[in-house]
Structure 1
């Protein structure tokens, strides 16, 4: 990667500037289209419309050439379109002659001879002819008169030949163009000013709440979790503010739990270290204190310290998703029985295990053993006066469920959904577990998530809690010959 010292990163334009530029560009495009269509293309459009109008009159006359109402139709068309009409045959005999105004002189005074020549000339050109003319007479508005001459020869259904001659005026549009030009100039100035004002206020309305949210987000990034985001203006900005407020609350909660975890872990680290140091100094300074009992205490506290560090490392790796699973097919029932035998040293505790059959699963045996250990350790920590932790194995729908039940105080219903979260602790006063490190449930959750297994907890205040997890069965499950409760 090549880094250029002293070169500032180019920032993209802000939302206010983008809104103003976009709005201004939109206004300029609209004005440009208005100028093009109303000024540059007005003349060609007008000519095209008049030509199509004349052709439409000719088509209507053609459809009514043998009708008894031809004369009435021609009169109606003259009044509607101000188009002069002449209808004759190939011999020059007139059938209709309608004058639109005094200005139309091209169709006046035509003799039968002229009509025959026109009929023959139009036939030679394919039966249709159109031309425009410009007179030398100036109009009252300035400019000269223009008109359209249109001729068409047709054969009726009865086989008769007819000539249709039409003449229509092209009104000069110079004065109209000048009027439109003045109007559009004024409209351009008004639209530019109005568009600028609207763009300014619109961009300000959109950009101000976003800028406020951005500044609050910077404070949130610095760890000020008590910050509140005020969303106003657009719905999306309000929703963004609500989302960031929720994120700030969650981050504040996580930060509190993180600090609590550090305090708890510090306490758990300090206790075995203090005992190790104390017994070591006693063995060093006092004659006769170098006994196997004191050495065993140091070994036990060292093991406790090692377990705590290992649990912290396991939790960190599990949450980072860097723990590979070594899936094998193993006997889950026997694995649990083997684990329970290691709790025999806990004087006064009982670990009954109900299992009706030997169940095989395909999973990481070491990690699943870690799940069982942590659930049992958690139950031992909160066991009731009878010091009994019960385990139960049930099989249903090709899944095996392992339940671990204690008879302790139970967990409030409003806290059940949080106990699996990292850093969470039900009782805020730090309680040093008799077995384990207090990080067990977080480790259980992450291991079961990696296996795709399900887990949960059922609890009632004053009656204890039951933690459970489920795994899919492997293909082979062997029934036990004499299923009975095994107490350890």
Structure 2
């Protein structure tokens, strides 16, 4: 099986190397992004930010051009953004001036030049922007003159716009900022990133290797244990270490293995029980039939009755197994109706009193009506009584009692047998489970009775249980809802599948 699985998935990458490749690829992508944004586009990003700062500052001034605190605002903008700012009228006369840069271009302008720039800005639609190298020392804009770019030379930006105050006066706002060269910065970053890349690649390699082993190790162990489990070794243990989800998976599979082990034990018990239960009546039928064939005078009604009884016992065994399987599969539907539970129990016990020499008693304060499947509930009573008859003491006493509390009726079936060990009480309702696995005594029934009881009561939503004391006996009970004497509307439909 292992070889078949290995061949089937041989073309797929393992989780260990898949995780390693993923972590390594992630680290490589991060390093590539650092190189791209810190080296290739650093200058472009820096220029973009500086241009955005000067334009945003211009918009702030324009929005507050009528403010009484305009002078303070201009001072703050100039100080915070390292921008020179001048506000003048159309004739070049100064209103506000803030010099935040050495060698500021716009503070070299005289009134006539400012008036000239006002006219150029007006012709350009009220806004003008220009970048040029500081080495050029330009004092007025010149659209026609082409200036060669020098990447190692600082650049100067001039942004101008015309705005109107509330009194109708037009003002020219000039802003000047400097873009410093980033060549030396890029070179420094390149050296730093080279070392960072080497260190990060080494760290990423070992980190990816560690994490891939840390995550995949428990999963690989669980996979190996699962293959052992698939071969029928239910004693295998799954590792419950690693991260929480992996540890929970290991714990869940350990629980599943434990339950599968129980099922396997029950399956073996089933084969032994059914083989025993089938062999006994078949032996009786074969033996009596051979006697009737071979011995004259043995073809008597008594011998025929034995064969009929044993055949009926076989039929009951097969029917119980089929009924249990159908109910647990949800194939059998309930047919609920109102009926007298107390009278139904009396009728069942009347049949037992005619056919057995056991002392079976039943006490009830009054007759109680319930809403349930009468045939299925009669199966519950039959199986509980059969179980009590099978395990009661030498006095052959079985007691049934009916009680009521909180709108429910309880039927108790008590025997005087050896009792059940406390650690086995939780298992007696399981399918095919038997406390007496050695078949030391003759048994009435099939050994499936309590599992049938559990399934039927689960279908009805009824409660059930057992109290047992060793050396004293056991009391099995179940509860159903009591219905009133005059019921107009039926209760909600009962479930048709076992819980």
TM range, normalised to the smaller chain?
A: 0.7 to 0.9
SS state at 2:464 partner: strand
Matching residue within 401, 421, 424 for 2:433: 424
**2:39 counterpart residue number:** 39
**2:50 counterpart residue number:** 50
| CA deviation map 1:313-358 (0-9, x unaligned) | 2223233332233333333322222211211244532222223333
1:132 aligns with 2:131: yes
**2:220 counterpart residue number:** 211
Please show how residues 457-476 of structure 1 align to structure 2 within 5 Å: 457-474=466-483, 476=485
Does structure 2 retain, via aligned residues, the 8 Å contact 1:420–1:442? yes
Of 418-427 and 177-186, more deviation after overlay is shown by: 177-186
Instruction: Check 1:115–1:405 CA distance in 2 against 1; reply closer, same or farther (3 A cut).
Output: same
Deviation at 1:148? 0.8
Instruction: Check 1:344–1:132 CA distance in 2 against 1; reply closer, same or farther (3 A cut).
Output: same
Q: Distance in 2 between matches of 1:274 and 1:71?
A: 115
| CA deviation map 1:448-473 (0-9, x unaligned) | 22222221112222322221112234
Deviation at 1:419? 1.1
Residue-pair matches, total: 469
Does structure 2 retain, via aligned residues, the 8 Å contact 1:92–1:113? yes
Does structure 2 retain, via aligned residues, the 8 Å contact 1:359–1:477? no
Deviation at 1:305? 2.5
Does structure 2 retain, via aligned residues, the 8 Å contact 1:357–1:477? no
**1:27 counterpart residue number:** 27
Q: Distance in 2 between matches of 1:398 and 1:120?
A: 100
1:276 aligns with 2:275: no
Deviation at 1:211? 0.9
Instruction: Check 1:127–1:274 CA distance in 2 against 1; reply closer, same or farther (3 A cut).
Output: same
Of 344-353 and 445-454, more deviation after overlay is shown by: 344-353
Q: Distance in 1 between matches of 2:334 and 2:78?
A: 94
Deviation at 1:60? 7.3
Structure 2 residue runs of 5 or longer lacking an equivalent are 1-6, 137-146, 488-499
Does structure 1 retain, via aligned residues, the 8 Å contact 2:66–2:166? no
SS state at 2:397 partner: coil
Deviation at 1:97? 6.5
Deviation at 1:368? 1.7
Does structure 2 retain, via aligned residues, the 8 Å contact 1:62–1:154? no
**1:199 counterpart residue number:** 208
| CA deviation map 1:206-236 (0-9, x unaligned) | 1121111111111112110111122332222
1:358 aligns with 2:367: yes
Q: Distance in 2 between matches of 1:410 and 1:366?
A: 29
Deviation at 1:128? 4.5
1:115 aligns with 2:114: yes
Deviation at 1:379? 0.8
**1:310 counterpart residue number:** 319
Of 99-108 and 432-441, more deviation after overlay is shown by: 99-108
Q: Distance in 1 between matches of 2:403 and 2:72?
A: 103
**1:444 counterpart residue number:** 453
Please show how residues 310-389 of structure 1 align to structure 2 within 5 Å: 310-389=319-398
Please show how residues 181-330 of structure 1 align to structure 2 within 5 Å: 181-330=190-339
Q: Distance in 2 between matches of 1:130 and 1:315?
A: 90
Q: Distance in 1 between matches of 2:390 and 2:464?
A: 20
Does structure 1 retain, via aligned residues, the 8 Å contact 2:467–2:475? yes
SS state at 2:400 partner: strand
Please show how residues 147-162 of structure 1 align to structure 2 within 5 Å: 147-153=156-162
Instruction: Check 1:423–1:170 CA distance in 2 against 1; reply closer, same or farther (3 A cut).
Output: same
SS state at 1:352 partner: strand
Q: Distance in 2 between matches of 1:302 and 1:315?
A: 20
Instruction: Check 1:445–1:131 CA distance in 2 against 1; reply closer, same or farther (3 A cut).
Output: same
Q: Distance in 2 between matches of 1:328 and 1:34?
A: 77
TM-score w.r.t. structure 1 length? 0.82
Q: Distance in 2 between matches of 1:98 and 1:325?
A: 94
Deviation at 1:52? 4.3
Computed over aligned residues only, the root mean square deviation of the Cα atoms, in angstroms, reads 3.7
Does structure 1 retain, via aligned residues, the 8 Å contact 2:64–2:70? no
Instruction: Check 1:142–1:456 CA distance in 2 against 1; reply closer, same or farther (3 A cut).
Output: closer
Deviation at 1:61? 11
**1:393 counterpart residue number:** 402
Instruction: Check 1:159–1:300 CA distance in 2 against 1; reply closer, same or farther (3 A cut).
Output: closer
**1:4 counterpart residue number:** none
